[in-house]
């Protein structure tokens, strides 16, 4: 399989904190199982709520393939475990590192 991580123009993954960066291999694998490339649509740039973990480089948004976004969201949740919040938003999947004590 030759599935890839694609990064939207203007988005950089350089600053992502290590726990978030480490999710990328798992994410690309999950997307590949469904036949998709992983597309990162946002990290710290763009407009997020003021308290968003995007601004501390602990969150990223990924594309949500319309046909399978529910399944993919569930698989990401299961794969990343309780230290991550995974939320299916209106046009993307939001993933943030939020360790629970
Ligand atoms: Zn987000």
In the reported structure, the alpha carbon of residue 87 is separated from the centroid of ligand 1 by a whole-number distance in angstroms of 8
In the reported structure, the alpha carbon of residue 2 is separated from the centroid of ligand 1 by a whole-number distance in angstroms of 26
- Spatial distance between the Cα atoms of 67 and 29, rounded to a whole number of angstroms: 18
Counted residue by residue, the chain has a size of 101
In the reported structure, the alpha carbon of residue 1 is separated from the centroid of ligand 1 by a whole-number distance in angstroms of 28
pLDDT value for 1: 59
In the reported structure, the alpha carbon of residue 58 is separated from the centroid of ligand 1 by a whole-number distance in angstroms of 10
pLDDT value for 64: 97
- Residue 98's nearest CA partner among 38, 68, 44, 56 is 56
Below-50 pLDDT ranges, the chain: none
In the reported structure, the alpha carbon of residue 48 is separated from the centroid of ligand 1 by a whole-number distance in angstroms of 7
Give the pLDDT confidence of 31-53 residue by residue, as tens digits: 999 999 999 999 999 889 999 99
- Spatial distance between the Cα atoms of 88 and 101, rounded to a whole number of angstroms: 24
In the reported structure, the alpha carbon of residue 61 is separated from the centroid of ligand 1 by a whole-number distance in angstroms of 5
């Amino acid at each position: 399989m030759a599935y890839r991580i694609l990064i939207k123009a203007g988005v950089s993954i350089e600053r992502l904190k290590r726990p978030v960066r480490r999710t990328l291999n798992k994410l690309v694998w999950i997307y590949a199982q469904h036949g998709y490339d992983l597309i990162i649509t946002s990290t710290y740039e763009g407009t997020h709520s003021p308290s968003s973990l995007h601004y501390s480089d602990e969150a990223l948004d990924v594309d949500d393939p319309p046909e399978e976004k529910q399944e993919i969201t569930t698989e990401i949740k299961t794969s990343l475990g309780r230290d991550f919040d995974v939320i299916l938003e209106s046009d993307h999947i939001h993933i943030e590192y939020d360790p629970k004590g």
